[in-house]
Amino acid sequence: MKSFANVNARDAKDAVAKLGQPNAVAVGGGSDLLGMVKEHLVEPDVLVHLKSIRKLDQVSAKAGEVQIGGLITLDTLSREPAIRSRYTVLAEAAESVGTPQIRNAGTLAGNVCQRPWCWYYRNGFPCFKAGGKQCFSITGENQFHAIFGGGPSFIVHPSDTAPALVALDAKFRVTNSDGERTIPAAEFFALPRVDAARENVLAQDEILTAVDLPAARPHTRSTYHKVLDREAWTHAVVSAAIVLEMDQQVCKSARIVLGGVAPIPWRLPKVEAMLAGKPITPELAAQAAEAALEGANPLAKNAYKVPLTKAVVRRTLLSLATKA
C-alpha cells in the first residue's frame, strides 16, 4: 500500500480540521478502509483516526430520545438493551453485519458510510464510484445490482444499519468546520443521478458523529430481515427494515425500507400508506409485496430479486404484525 501519515483526532472539530488537509481520509474501525488502501482503491496521504475521540461510542437517552455516538461498534450497538428492546430493527441490522471480528471493529458511522461492494468498483474498474464515467455492471455481471433507483450507476447500498435508521426516522448529526448540521436519515443518502461518485451528502471535510432516534412510540415493533448467500459474512442480497406501530391487530402506521435493491436505502411510502389503519392480513401483506415491487427495473441477471423481494416484504411484514 501507499505510504501515509496517521493522525489522531482530539474531538470532532479537530477531526474536521485535520480532514481539511489534502487527501485526508477519516477512519473509524478501519475494517473496510484498510482493505481498500491495500487494494489502492483509496490512496490517502493522511488517515485521520476518529477512535481517539472520547465519548463518541456511547448510547445516551434524553427525554425519550436516544442519541448513539457514531463510533459505537456494531457489536456493542447490537447488545445495547435500550436498542434491542425499543429499536429492535437497528440491533438486528447491526447484528447481521459481516463477522464477529468485523462487528467488534466496525462502527455504526462506518457502516452507514461504507463504500459500495460492487465487484467492478472493488476490482479497480474506472467506474463512476472511482471517479470514472461508466457503470460496468449494466452490460456485465449484475446479479447483485440495483432493481430500483439505478442509473447512471447501478450499485446497491451495502449498509445493513442504513435501512434500519431510515425506517426509524433517525436524524444524522454531521460535524463540519461551521459546527454541526442535522440531516434526516432519508435525506442523507443520495441517488447516483444526484451524484454518481458518492452515496451520501457528506462533504470531504464532514463526518457523521452521531445518530438521534426519536422516542419510540408505544406499541411499536420492528425487525430487520436480511437474505444472505450463505449463513454469515455477506452483504444483503435483499433486506427489509420494517417498523410497525400497532393498535391491537390494526397497523396505525408503518415504515418499510429495503436494502440490497437500490443505490440508497429504498423506502416504500406507497406501501406504508396502504397499510396504515388496516389489520395486516395475509392478503394485505401479499398486496403490499406486489405494490412494493411496482416500478422495479431489473437488469439482465438480477430479475430474481423481484420475486425474492416480494417474498421478503410479505413474510417479514406478516410475521412482525402477528408476532406475539
Partner 1 sequence: MNTLKTVGHPTSRIDAEKRVTGTATYTGDLRLPGMLYARVLRSPHPHARIRRIDLSRAQALPGVKAILTHENCDVIWGSGDMRNKRYLFNDPVRFVGDAVAAVAATDRHTAEEATRLIAVDYEVLPFVLEPEDALKPGAPEIQPGGNLSPTARGAHEPEQYRRGNIDEGLRAADRVFEDQYSSPHINNAQLEPRVAIAQWDGDRLTVHTPTQGISNCHTEIARDLKLAPEKVRIICQFMGGGFGNKNQDHDFELMAAVLAQQAGAPVKIEFTRKEDFLAVHGRWPTKQYYKVGVRNDGTLTAIQLRGYSGMGPYRKGTGGIAGIEIYQCPHVERLVYPTYTNKAVSANLRGPDFPQGVFGIESLMDDVAYALKMDPVEFRLKNMTRKLNDQIPYTSIGLEDCIRRGAEAFEWRKRWHAPGEGSGPVKRGAGMAMGSFSSSMGRSSAVIDLDARGTYHLHVGVTDIGTGAKTTMALIAAEELGVPLEKIDVIWGDTDRCPFSVGESGSRTTTQTGWAVVEAAKDLKRQMAEKGLPQGNQLLTATVNANPAPLTGQARYSFVAHFAEVEVDTETGHVRVTKYVAAHDSGRIVNPLTAESQVKGGATMGIGMALHEELLYDRASGQPLNAGYYGARILTHLDTPEVDVLWIQTEDPYGPFGAKTLGEPTIIPSPASVGNAIHNAIGKRVNDLPITREKILGVLA
Residue ranges in contact with partner 1 by CB under 8 A: 1-3, 38, 40, 119-120, 123, 125, 136, 139-141, 143, 227, 229-234, 237, 301-304, 307-308, 310-312, 315
Asked whether 66 and 87 are in contact (CB, 8 A), the reply is yes
Of 24 and 312, which has the nearer Cβ to partner 1? 312
Q: Which is nearer to partner 1, 152 or 307 (CB)?
A: 307
CB atoms within 10 A of CB 71: 24
CB 230, min distance to partner 1, A: 5
Coil, strand or helix at 36:
helix
Contact present, 292 and 310 (Cβ < 8 Å): yes
Q: How far is the CB of 155 from partner 1 (least distance, A)?
A: 14
Please state the closest distance from residue 154 (CB atom) to partner 1, in A: 14
Question: Could you give the CA distance from residue 201 to residue 39 in angstroms, rounded to a whole number?
Answer: 25
Nearest residue (CB) to partner 1, 189 versus 224: 224
Contact criterion met (CB below 8 Å) for 94 and 161 = yes
Distances (CA, A) of 260 to 86, 87, 104, 147, 312: 25, 21, 23, 9, 12
Of 38 and 217, the one with the shorter C-beta distance to partner 1 is 38
Task: At 314, list the grid cell.
Answer: 410479505
Written as nine digits, the cell of 57 is 461510542
| Minimum separation from the CB atom of position 231 to partner 1 (A) | 4
Tell me how far, at minimum, the Cβ of 317 lies from partner 1, in Å. Answer: 14
Closest CB to partner 1 among 15 and 299? 299
Q: Which residue has the cell 474531538?
A: 11
Torsion of CA 310, 314, 315, 321, to 10 degrees: 160
CB nearer partner 1, residue 52 or residue 134: 134
Distance CA 142, CA 154 (A): 8
Q: 71: closest CA among 123, 129, 12, 115?
A: 12
Q: How far is the CB of 304 from partner 1 (least distance, A)?
A: 4
Q: Tell me the three cell numbers of residue 62.
A: 434524553
- The least CB distance from residue 229 to partner 1, in Å, is 5
Residue 17 or 228: the one with the smaller Cβ distance to partner 1 is 228
